[in-house]
Amino acid sequence: MQKKVAPYPGKISVVFRKGPLGYLLQDPSKEARRNKNDPKLQDKSAPVREDVVHQNALTVIYQRGGDESDMKEVQGEYILQFGKYKGKSFRWLLGNDVGYTMYLIKDLQKEEAAGTSVEEGHGKESLHSFVQYALSFTEIKTLLNYKTSRVSVAAEASEDDQLVGFGSRAKSTWKEIQESPFYEAERQRWVEEKRKKGRNC
């Protein structure tokens, strides 16, 4: 019986570090810590253009017998052109420091939302590509959604701690009001008071 040969014997996937319950570990791996703490291991060369990065990645894929038509696999071999892990592959970063990956995604999202991104160049190009690559993984999107929902829950909690600011219970917090057994009746009265207050302004 002839043995089946895989069409792409050198194909490599990201191996996420996970805890015993299956959640992604976000702290840096030992290798990542070593790289971060030892300046001699850090790449100090000038950033290169994305088309060069792409061509180099294709060469790596070809040499190891990977799938050159799989953009996700190709991008995994892209080399970072910025930050403390410059010189490492996109795939390496996802496998070694998910916490830093989340920081990069959120920081870029904040910049874009505020319209404050001024830095351009090959480093920024590389950052955009990496974020796009990271977000193509369900594990990263799930973690991002979880973190975003926790932030919105925390924001709602802080709103509950704010003072009402008007009416007979102006010095009570919204949380105290909601916990009151007379909440619904009082809420109706405050809505009315607020409406009158708005009319008299």
Range of the domain at 91: 30-157
Helices (H) and strands (E) in the chain, counts: 9, 0
Per-residue pLDDT reduced to its tens digit, 44-73 = 999 999 999 999 999 999 999 999 999 999
Q: Classify residue 3: in a domain, yes or no.
A: no
> What tens digit of pLDDT does each residue of 143-196 get?
999 988 876 555 555 555 666 555 555 656 655 655 555 555 666 676 677 677
In a domain, 19, yes or no: no
Strand partners, 89: 79
Do 79 and 58 belong together in one domain?
yes
pLDDT in tens, 90-117: 999 999 999 999 999 999 999 888 887 6
Residue 55: inside a domain: yes
118 and 185 within one domain: no
- Give me the pLDDT at residue 30, please: 96
- Average pLDDT of the chain to the nearest whole number: 84
Q: Is residue 90 in some structural domain?
A: yes
- Cβ burial, residue 122 (10 Å; 0-12/13-18/19+): middle
pLDDT confidence of residue 41: 87
Same domain, 146 and 56: yes
Residue 51: inside a domain, yes or no?
A: yes
Structurally, the chain folds into a number of domains equal to 2
95 and 181, same domain (yes or no): no
Q: Please report where in the chains the tokens 């050159």 appear, as a residue.
A: 68
Please count the residues of the chain.
201
Does residue 151 share a domain with residue 70? yes
Asked if residue 120 and residue 88 are part of one domain, the reply reads yes
CA–CA separation, 184 and 83 (whole Å): 54
Three-state SS at 13: coil
Sign of the CA dihedral running 111, 114, 119, 124: positive
- Strand (E) or helix (H) holding 171: none
- Asked if residue 170 and residue 152 are part of one domain, the reply reads no
22: left (phi over 0), alpha (psi -120 to 50) or beta: left
